[in-house]
Chain A
Amino acid sequence: MSGISPDVMIGIFSTMMALATPFLYAALGETFAQRSGVVNLGVDGIMLISAFAAFYVVLLTNNLWLGLLAAALVGLAMGLLMSVVSVSLKAEQGVSGIGLYMLGMGLSSLLFKVLVGTVKTVQGFRGVAIPVLSDIPFIGPVLFRNSVLVYGAFLLVPLSYFVLEKTTLGLKIKAVGQNPAAADSVGISVNGIRYFSVCLGAALAGIAGASLSISLLNLFQDNLTAGQGFIAVALVYFGGWNPWGVLVGALLFSVVNSIQLWMQVLGVKIPSAVAVMLPYVLTIVALTVSVNRVRQPAALNKPFERGES
Chain B
Amino acid sequence: MLSERSISPEKASSRKAVDWGAIVVNVALPFAGVIVALFVGVIMLLLLKADPIAAYTALVQGAVGSTFGLTQSLVKATPLLLVGSGICIAFRANVINIGGEGQIIMGALAGTALPLAFPTVPGYILIPGACLAGFMAGAFWGFIPGILKARLKVNEILSTIMLNAIALQVMNLLLQGPLMDPEGIAHGTFLNQSAQLPHQAYLARLVPQTLLHTGAILALVVAIACYFFLWRTGLGFNIRAVGLNPAASRYSGIDVPFYEALSMTLAGGLAGLAGVIEVIGVQHRLMSGITGGYGFTGIVAALLGSLHPLGLIPASVFFGGLLVGADKMQRAVQVPSSLITAMLGLIVLFVSGSSLWARRWMAHRDASTARRNSMAGASARGEEA
Contact A234/B162 with A106-B338, A109-B336, A273-B172 known, Cβ cut-off 8 Å? yes
* Residue from B153, B157, B164, B166 in contact with A281 in the complex, judged by beta carbons closer than 8 Å: B166
* Residue from B155, B161, B169, B348 in contact with A98 in the complex, judged by beta carbons closer than 8 Å: B348
* Residue from B5, B48, B162 in contact with A114 in the complex, judged by beta carbons closer than 8 Å: B48
Let me know if B349 and A100 touch, CB within 8 A.
yes
Chain A residues near B300 (CB, 8 Å)?
95, 98-99
Let me know if A91 and B353 touch, CB within 8 A.
yes
A273-309 contact mask (Cβ, 8 Å, vs B): 1 or 0:
1101100110110011000010010000111010010
> For chain B, which range describes its interface: under 10, 10 to 19, 20 to 34, or 35 or more residues?
35 or more
A91-105 contact mask (Cβ, 8 Å, vs B): 1 or 0:
110111011111111
B137-178 contact mask (Cβ, 8 Å, vs A): 1 or 0:
000000000001000111101110111111001101100110
Let me know if B152 and A288 touch, CB within 8 A.
yes
* Residue from B176, B336, B344, B348 in contact with A96 in the complex, judged by beta carbons closer than 8 Å: B348
The 8 residue pairs across chains A and B that have the minimum distance between CB atoms:
A106-B342, A99-B348, A103-B345, A102-B345, A106-B341, A109-B338, A273-B173, A91-B352
27 example contacts (A-B, Cβ-Cβ < 8 A) are as follows A89-B353, A91-B349, A91-B352, A92-B303, A92-B352, A94-B1, A94-B98, A98-B296, A99-B346, A102-B342, A103-B342, A104-B345, A106-B339, A106-B341, A106-B345, A237-B158, A273-B169, A273-B170, A274-B173, A276-B169, A276-B172, A280-B166, A283-B162, A288-B154, A296-B155, A302-B3, A308-B5
Let me know if B155 and A237 touch, CB within 8 A.
yes
Let me know if B169 and A284 touch, CB within 8 A.
no
Tell me the residues in window 285-303 of chain B with beta carbons closer than 8 Å to chain A beta carbons.
Answer: 296, 299-300, 303
Chain B residues near A238 (CB, 8 Å)?
158
Let me know if A114 and B336 touch, CB within 8 A.
yes
Let me know if B349 and A85 touch, CB within 8 A.
yes
Contact A231/B339 with A95-B299, A106-B345 known, Cβ cut-off 8 Å? no
20 new A-B contacts, CB < 8 A, other than A89-B356, A284-B159, are: A41-B98, A85-B353, A91-B356, A92-B303, A94-B96, A94-B98, A95-B300, A95-B348, A95-B352, A96-B349, A99-B300, A100-B345, A101-B296, A103-B342, A106-B345, A276-B172, A280-B166, A280-B169, A281-B166, A301-B96
| Residue from B148, B155, B340 with most neighbouring chain A CB atoms (10 Å) | B155
A22-50 contact mask (Cβ, 8 Å, vs B): 1 or 0:
00000000000000000101000100000
Interface set of B (CB-CB < 8 Å, partner A): 1, 3, 5, 48, 96, 98, 148, 152-155, 157-159, 161-166, 169-170, 172-173, 176-177, 296, 299-300, 303, 336, 338-356, 359
Is A110 on the interface with B (CB-CB < 8 A)? yes
The smallest C-beta distance from B150 to any residue of chain A, in angstroms, reads 12
Chain B residues near A284 (CB, 8 Å)?
148, 154, 158-159, 162-163
The answer for the CA separation of A276 and B166 in the assembled complex, in Å, is 8
The smallest C-beta distance from A249 to any residue of chain B, in angstroms, reads 9
Q: Identify the closest chain A residue to B155 (Cβ).
A: A237
Interface set of A (CB-CB < 8 Å, partner B): 39, 41, 45, 81, 84-85, 89-92, 94-96, 98-110, 113-114, 227, 230-231, 233-234, 237-238, 271, 273-274, 276-277, 280-281, 283-284, 287-288, 293, 296, 301-303, 305, 308
The smallest C-beta distance from B180 to any residue of chain A, in angstroms, reads 13
Secondary structure dominating the interface of B = helix
* Residue from B98, B341, B352 in contact with A105 in the complex, judged by beta carbons closer than 8 Å: B341
Let me know if B154 and A84 touch, CB within 8 A.
no
Chain B residues near A281 (CB, 8 Å)?
162, 166
The answer for the CA separation of A146 and B306 in the assembled complex, in Å, is 49
The answer for the CA separation of A271 and B339 in the assembled complex, in Å, is 38
Contact A234/B157 with A85-B353, A302-B3 known, Cβ cut-off 8 Å? yes
Let me know if B352 and A85 touch, CB within 8 A.
yes
Contact A303/B336 with A100-B349, A102-B342 known, Cβ cut-off 8 Å? no
Let me know if B336 and A231 touch, CB within 8 A.
no
Chain A residues near B155 (CB, 8 Å)?
237, 296
